[in-house]
Structure 1
């Protein structure tokens, strides 16, 4: 089992080292400037989005997950962060278009900077990982489906939150986030 664990870790390290810093910084800037943040993805990308939304909430951002019963209307000044490995998930394209129509900004986290969704976004964060589609430009992986993309998205978005919060806080970030963590445990 240890060789498999090491191979997965090596794959993720390779993907993370190829993320463009300027793209990560641009998403961080959009997070800081947004009045409210909306996050959306489908399937495992949606789960990564929910983890991202939770960390944003811990960081003090006003954040909503699209599709939840308490999600309000998106409007001007808001930001939609969409997560789609292929960049062509039809429902995400529709939500991105609706967000733009409402005056919100849209950021896409994807492996495909040339996708339909990317074409209408204000910011594209390319995660150069393998997806279930196994396009020729995607890296090799021993992992099934979109595991490499999902794991990389989780780590990159966590790093972006850390970087976003470091520049704004005088207090200890860990202490502030712990205070916002659920106490229903």
Structure 2
């Protein structure tokens, strides 16, 4: 078991070391300037998106998850963060297209800068990790399916939130975030 844990940790270190800082800073800037943030992803990318949205809420951002019953219409000055390893998920493409039509900005978190969704996005955050497709340009992994992508998305987006809050003037600290944490548990 120790060998597997160490291999996964080494894989993640390699992926995280290859994140483009300018792309991460662009997402941070987009988060800071958005009136409201909308997050979307399908399957496990959607689960990572929900974790990201929760952390944004804890940080004091106005955030919604696409598909929830209380999600309002997206508008100009809003931001859609779409998470798709392939960058070609049909529903994500539709959401990105609709968001652009409404005047919102779109930022794609993906492994594929040349994807269909990337082509219509205002920016991309490339996660240089393996997906379930195992394209030749993806790193090798011992992990099944898109585990490596999912783990990297979670860690990178959490790091971007921490960096964004650190630079903001909101002074959101641990106590403030704790007050926003769910208390109906």
Structure 2: tracts of 5 or more residues without a match: none
Aligned equivalents of 2:74 and 2:9: distance in 1? 37
Is 1:164 the counterpart of 2:161? The answer is no
Q: Deviations over 1:43-80 (max 9, x none)?
A: 00000000000000000000000000000000000000
Equivalent in the alignment of 1:44:
44
In the alignment, what sits opposite 2:101? 101
After the TM superposition, which parts of structure 1 deviate over 4 Å for at least 4 consecutive aligned residues?
none
Cα deviation, residue 171, structure 1: 3.9
**Whole-Å Cα distance in 1 between the matches of residues 125 and 182 of structure 2?**
30
SS of structure 2 residue aligned to 1:109: strand
DSSP-derived class of the 2:55 partner = helix
Query: For the Cα contact (< 8 Å) 1:166–1:173, is it kept in 2?
Result: no
Q: Where does residue 110 of structure 1 map in the other structure?
A: 110
User: TM-score scaled by structure 2?
Assistant: 0.98
Deviations 1:13-48 (A, max 9, x none): 100000000000000000000000000000000000
The residue aligned with 1:85 is 85
C-alpha distance in 2 between matches for 1:121 and 1:174 = 33
Distance in 2 of aligned mates of 1:43 and 1:182: 24
Residue equivalent to 1:9: 9
Shift of 1:129: 0.1
- Measure, in 1, the Cα distance between the counterparts of 2:128 and 2:168: 29
RMSD: 0.9
Q: Give the structure-1-normalised TM-score.
A: 0.98
- Name 1:128's counterpart in structure 2: 128
Counterpart of 2:26 in structure 1 is 26
- Is there any run of 5+ residues in structure 1 with no aligned partner, and where? none
